[in-house]
Amino acid sequence: MAGIYSYITFNGNCLEAMTYYQKCFGGRLVVQTIGGSPLGKNLPRHIKNYVLSASLTKKDLVLMGSDIVPETGLIKGNSVSLSLFCDSEKEIERLYKKLAVDGQADQPLQITFWNTIFGNVTDKFGVHWLLNFDKHKKQHKT
């Protein structure tokens, strides 16, 4: 198995969200709109700007997204969270602050009894993030 990647479905704001995540994490963002695909030929103009597929890649981080919502509609729930494993205390603090902008800081960063720094936020797009830094791990410059 090559890997499992996170895939987030949005409701018309995928480009905004993925651009925001690129500002938070860095990396290379590739976006395919519906209008730029064979699907967009006969669709209304406003739908052509929706994202068919987007991917943000930085080292082992691959975050994918789309505005393609199933016929049942988009249902946001609390059954899935994205877990980030950070390389340093500086990085976890920076990412926590960025993801919390216009969102909700659910649990502040704190040292756990298993000696990691952990906290979680729900960002302005309703995506729940779990941030971790293992204090035993050798720190990398970020």
Give the whole-angstrom CA distance, residue 30 versus residue 37.
14
Give the whole-angstrom CA distance, residue 122 versus residue 104.
5
Is the pLDDT assigned to residue 138 strictly greater than 70? no
Is the pLDDT assigned to residue 44 strictly greater than 90? no
- To the question of domain 82-134 being in CATH 3.20.20.100, the answer is no
- Residue 21, helix vs strand vs coil: helix
- Give the pLDDT band (50/70/90) at residue 80: confident
Give the whole-angstrom CA distance, residue 137 versus residue 115.
10
Q: What pTM did the predictor assign? A: 0.85
CATH fold group of domain 6-66? 2,3-Dihydroxybiphenyl 1,2-Dioxygenase; domain 1 (3.10.180)
The residue-averaged pLDDT of 8-31 equals 96
Q: What pLDDT does residue 41 have?
A: 81
Q: What pLDDT does residue 70 have?
A: 79
- Give the pLDDT band (50/70/90) at residue 68: confident
Is the pLDDT assigned to residue 141 strictly greater than 80? no
Q: Are strands 6-9 and 61-66 parallel, antiparallel or unpaired?
A: parallel
Which stretches of the chain are DSSP H helices?
A: 14-25, 45-48, 89-100
Domain parsing of the chain, residue ranges = 6-66, 82-134
